[in-house]
Amino acid sequence: MEPIVSVTGGKILGRTSAGVSTFLGVPYAAAPVGPARFELPTRVPDWPGVRDALSYGPTCAQSPYPPPIHALIGSDGIPGDEYLNVNVWTPDPGGSGLPVMVWIHGGAFVRGSNARAIYDGAAFARDGIVMVSINYRLGISGFAAVANAPLNRGLHDQLFALQWVQENIESFGGDPNNVTVFGESAGGMSVAMLLASSRSRGLLHRAIMQSGNGSAVATIDDAGKLADQLAEKLAIKPTAADFGRLGPERLRSAQDMIALDLMTDPDPARWGSSIITNGLGIMSLFPVVDGDIVEGPAADVLAAHPDRSVPLIAGCTTDEFRFFTVPTGVAAAITTDTLPYMLSRYGLSPALAATYSAHRPGATAADLFAAMVTDHAFRSDTLRLAQVNATANPTYAYEFAWPSGIEGLGACHVLEIPFVFDALASAHPLTGPNPPQPLADQIHSAWASFAKNGNPGWARFQPDTQLVQIFDAPESTVVSNPRGDDLAALRRSLR
C-alpha cells in the first residue's frame, strides 16, 4: 500500500521503493502567477481528496543552459503554475524524530530546480534522514527590484518553504528541531543569506554552504537601475502592476537579453558597481540589501550578530571557475596577452598573476585566470565566512579536489554534488565514466553525519589553524591554510 500523508493543503499520495517513500511536486505556497508573481508567498489553497505526489512539479520560467553547459548538467523546464513546490524523501513516514535536510538548488538565481536526478534524496533517506528539496522564484520573478513589490521574493519563498517544513515535516517522520539547510552555487549563497538573517531564527539549526559566498548582494539603487532597463526592453513601466501583466515567456526573454547585455558591456556606470563586482559578470539578478532578510554581506552581518550563527560546513571545489571557461571556449581565448584584460573585468590586478604563476609551474594563462577567479569568487569569501562563524559555533571547511574525467574541467563547479548525494550514476557527462565511489561514500556519509549530530568527521576549522578537509581520491587529507600565500596576495590586491 502506497503512503498517504496530510500536509498544509490536504492529503498527498507518495510511492515507496527499496524502503524509501517519495513525495514529489508538493506545493508549499499558492501559485505565484499574474500580479501574485511580485507579491509575498501565501498559503497554498486546500485541494479535495488525495493529491498524487508521484512526479516532479513545475519549475520557474527559465531558458536552457548554453549547449556546452547543458551537455554537462542538462537544463530545467517543467511548465506549470505551481512551481513553488517541494520534494520529500523519507525512510519512514510513520516514524518520528528523524533528522531533516533541506536542499536549495543553484543556477545563478535565474536557472535550476529541485527536479534533477543528481538531487535525488533517496540516498539520504536510505541513511535515516528526511530530505526535502525546494523550488523558489528565479530571475525577474524572484529578484528584480520592481517598484511597489517586496524585494528578494526568491528568499522569501525559501523562508516560506522552511516554515512549511516546520509545520509539516513531522508527517514524514522528521524532527522540526533538527533541520540542516544546504545548497550549492546560488543555493550556497542563499544558505549564507539565510544563515545571517534574523528571519531564519528557529527555521534552521545547521547549515552547509557549497561553492557559494556571502558577498553576492546588490544595492537597492543598482538593482533598481537594472529593473529600469528590464522595463525598457519590455516597453513597460518598471512597476509591479506592469510586470505582473506579463507571462513567463516575456519575462524569460527579457532576463536573457539583460544577461547578454551585462556580459558584453560590463560598465559599472550603466549597471552599478555592486551588480558588476558582486555579480562577477555572471549574475544579473540576485539578492538585494533590503535591511530585512539581507542586511549586508553575510560575513559582515554574522560578525555583528554572532548569536545568529549555527554549526556550519563551508567549502568549494579547487577549480570552480573552469566550469565557466573550459566548456564555453573562453579558456581557449585567454592568452598571456589577453589575461590582463580578463582579470581587470573581474576587478583583479594583472600583477597578481605573478604570485599565482610562481606556485604553478607550467600553468597556462587560462589556468591562472581560473585559479584567481575561483579564489576571488568562491574560496576567499567562503573561508572568511568560516572564520567569522567559528568564533561562535563549530565550523568545518572543505575543498573538493578530485578532477573530473572530462578533459580540462579539473575539480570544477557542480562536480561535488553527485558525490554529496551519492548519485554518481546520474552524473557521468560531468564526472566522466569512472568516478570513485569510495569518495562519494566518504562525502555523503560526512554530510549525513553532520545532519544527525553536527560532526562530519574531520577537525574543526579555527581562525588560527584554518584546517581544511581536502576531498580527493584515492586519499583525502586535512591541510592547514592550503595555498594561503595566494589568498593573502589576492586579498591585498583587493584592498
Catalytic residue numbers, as ranges: 185, 320, 413
Q: Which residues contact 112 (CB under 8 A, 6 or more apart)?
A: 62, 76, 105, 106, 138, 186, 187
Helices (H) and strands (E) in the chain, counts: 20, 14
User: Which position has the grid cell 479535495?
Assistant: 48
Q: Are 113 and 60 in contact (CB under 8 A)?
A: yes
Q: Strand 467-471 relative to strand 15-17: parallel, antiparallel, unpaired?
A: unpaired
Q: Are 62 and 139 in contact (CB under 8 A)?
A: yes
Q: Are 230 and 258 in contact (CB under 8 A)?
A: yes
Q: Are 389 and 455 in contact (CB under 8 A)?
A: no
Is the backbone of residue 97 left (phi > 0), alpha (psi -120 to 50) or beta?
left
Is the backbone of residue 494 left (phi > 0), alpha (psi -120 to 50) or beta?
alpha
**What angle do the packed helices 484-494 and 380-390 form, to 10 degrees?**
100
3-state secondary structure of 161: helix
Cα distance between residue 27 and residue 39, in whole Å: 17
Strand residues in 33-120 grouped as ranges (E): 50-52, 85-90, 98-104
CB neighbour class for 121 (10 Å; exposed up to 12, middle 13-18, buried from 19): buried
How many Å separate Cα 481 from the centre of its chain?
A: 24
Nearest to 189 by CA among 316, 64, 82: 316
Phi–psi pair at 105, nearest 5 degrees: -75, 160
